[in-house]
Structure 1
Amino acid sequence: MQNTEYLELVETAGGRENHYARVVDRYYELVTPMCRDVWSDSFHLAWFAEGQRLHEAQRTMQRWLADRGGFTAGDELLDVGCGIGGPAANVAEYTGATVTGVNICGHQVRVARSLHTGDVGRRLTFVEADAMHLPYGPAEFDGVYSIEALCYTPDKSRAYAEVARVVKPGGAFVGADWFCADDLSEADYARWVEPMCRAFAIPRVIPFGAVREHLETAGFEVESVSRYDDHGDVAPNWRLCDDNAASAAGAGAGAGSDSRPESFESLLEASAPALRDACTAGKVIMGCWVARRRG
């Protein structure tokens, strides 16, 4: 996909939804190198304890999810939306489990395969696949987790149902994602949420209050739904997001017409403020869940 086509498609929710596979693939092909400068191998926000650095907070969050899932050595786990494999490697090392990561972005899958070697790497597999069309049979996995990835699927109900299909009865589905506040007017959604979605190439986010219903409809018993700020401080994320946007702006300086165009750089520079402002206003919510597949 050419950058001009990407910019046209990402401009509207309909474009991002109808062409989500191509849009998300292109977005992460463009941003992965600069994101690594700030986020290393785990491309997600976190909650922070006092004095924690980013990677410590991310590991704490990943281990929290693994603990809530009851993941252990010998388990076969699925990471839905695995990025370049940082969380998969950390979860595999922490639990002793084998982890298969799926990602709709082929570029990130190739990066993940190149990064993770050694003893832990032998328990990692990375596959290019769509979360709404998982290439696995029923009940193939002991547990599933997803970190800030399912927001990129245009049909969350279908994505949750796919997870329910491939996890064993009693198996855990734990995760974290971005949502909007409940009962937002169309005007408020357009003002606060749509700019964030456009900047991050997200089709649309669902209300936080709908998570439990979506999971239950898919076939899960929900143990808990919580917000990041129930567990720690989220404010350090905004400085890091600003660093990421600044890195994007620097990467665009002097770029030729065949590289990232100025309008794309402007979109990236707007992403951190859009997310920060929407979250601090309570219009976008970072939340997590713990659920188990009904038998």
Structure 2
Amino acid sequence: MLFIALFVRIWQNCRVSRTPAKQSNSRSLADLAPDDVKSAVDGYTAIYDAGLESRKERYQSLVNHYYDLVTDFYEFGWGQSFHFAPRRRGESFKASLLRHQRFLADRLALKPEMHVLDVGCGVGGPMGNLARYSGASFVGINNNAYQIERAKLHTRDVRSLCRFIHGDYMRIPEGDDCYDAAIAIEATVHAPDKTALFREIFRVLRPGACFAGYEWCLTDTFDPGNAEHQRIKNDIMIGDALPDITGIPEVGTAMRMAGFELLEAYDRAPESDPETPWYRALQGRDLSLSSIPRTPLGRALTNLTLRVGERLRVFPEGSRAVSTLLNRGADALVKGGESGIFTPMFFFLARKPRRPETE
């Protein structure tokens, strides 16, 4: 029965996604022609295998290929908020995500009439939650058209507070000094140059405005000379469309080079209860119907479902390869968390000086 339920849910998710995507020229896995799915997988792999500099130069294609392929899988297994959170004992996964989001709103003191930029807004889950929570208005920028269509759907009850820009956050199509605050939830990790990205965010913020978010980082425990550490890092990168993963000190350095005053910066991962670490959702230790798709068993069943579906020509060739790619990344995230070499929640709070410093 579980196998059938997984099969039906994935298929329904794909079917539902077709309509908005075709109306906007955006693409999901379901909207790609059968031959295009395998081509997209091959294209993603080719960009990644070409090396670090190629990934940085072609980061837009890398990330777009990736999210065209995986967004439906993410929503199936993760919901509308594609990120992690430190969990408290007895706290549900969903509740931890919402608390993690609201932490940013509280640190930024978001309130009605404030104009906030969400850098890399995904499918709009956190943005919608924070608009409801704070009453502030949000603009989300995302380079993936399909995700923007999904975000519009998820924020329709607060559409008066949410607007979206289909564009590259390395070149934000907005004027100078126009936002009261900015957030980025595990999104700037895709940037080919953090300093350049932070400078762009600095540019659009009003003097005195703050920027807060969470960054994926290697911790001080990471040993560049350790082959296993390097393998885990590499699997996280290819499983999550990352050009590279930097260390914690590099984030602060990039912030300061961009002109920000770094007010706070620390890893929130240790705040998790020891029994519920941030990667628990991927370990299979949460026993509920909604958590099954995130578990190793659920991911294996999804993979099997897609394998059967490909043979029956229900799903296009390459669908299983997408699932396998995500599983590789998920397993590496767990190992990165267990070994302590990786964190997805390095918190930062930075401020644009009220009077910009002269060079």
Residue type of the partner of 1:271?
G
Deviation digits for residues 236-259 of structure 1 (CA, Å, limit 9, x no counterpart): 233365357446524522325844
Gaps of 5+ in 1: none
Q: Which residue of 2 aligns with 1:238?
A: 282
1:13 aligns with 2:71: no
Deviation digits for residues 31-73 of structure 1 (CA, Å, limit 9, x no counterpart): 1112112221111111111211122111101110111111111
Given the superposition, is the C-alpha separation of residues 50 and 142 from structure 1 closer, same or farther in structure 2, using an over 3 Å criterion? Answer: same
1:78 aligns with 2:117: yes
Local SS of the residue matching 2:211: strand
Does the aligned pair in 2 maintain the 1:92–1:99 contact within 8 Å?
Answer: yes
TM-score normalised to structure 2 length:
0.76
Local SS of the residue matching 1:122: helix
Q: Quick one: distance in 1 between partners of 2:176 and 2:225?
A: 38
Q: Which residue of 2 aligns with 1:223?
A: 263
Q: Quick one: distance in 2 between partners of 1:187 and 1:220?
A: 34
Does the aligned pair in 1 maintain the 2:264–2:348 contact within 8 Å?
Answer: yes
**Match 2:306 to one of 226, 236, 252:** 252
Given the superposition, is the C-alpha separation of residues 58 and 236 from structure 1 closer, same or farther in structure 2, using an over 3 Å criterion? Answer: same
Does the aligned pair in 1 maintain the 2:194–2:251 contact within 8 Å?
Answer: no
Q: Which residue of 1 aligns with 2:62?
A: 23
Sequence identity percentage: 27
Does the aligned pair in 1 maintain the 2:128–2:154 contact within 8 Å?
Answer: no
Deviation digits for residues 64-104 of structure 1 (CA, Å, limit 9, x no counterpart): 01111111111000000100101111111111100000111
Q: Which residue of 1 aligns with 2:347?
A: 288
Q: Which residue of 2 aligns with 1:33?
A: 72
Local SS of the residue matching 1:137: coil
Q: CA RMSD in A?
A: 2.1
Q: Quick one: distance in 2 between partners of 1:245 and 1:214?
A: 36
Does the aligned pair in 1 maintain the 2:70–2:322 contact within 8 Å?
Answer: no
Bigger shift: residues 236-245 or 226-235: 236-245
Does the aligned pair in 2 maintain the 1:245–1:270 contact within 8 Å?
Answer: no
Does the aligned pair in 1 maintain the 2:190–2:241 contact within 8 Å?
Answer: yes
Aligned residues: 294
Residue type of the partner of 2:206?
K
Q: How far off its partner does 1:150 sit?
A: 0.4
Gaps of 5+ in 2: 1-38, 284-290, 355-359
Local SS of the residue matching 2:295: helix
Moved over 6 A (4+): none
TM-score normalised to structure 1 length:
0.92
Residue type of the partner of 1:67?
D
Local SS of the residue matching 1:209: helix
Larger Rg: 2
1:265 aligns with 2:323: yes
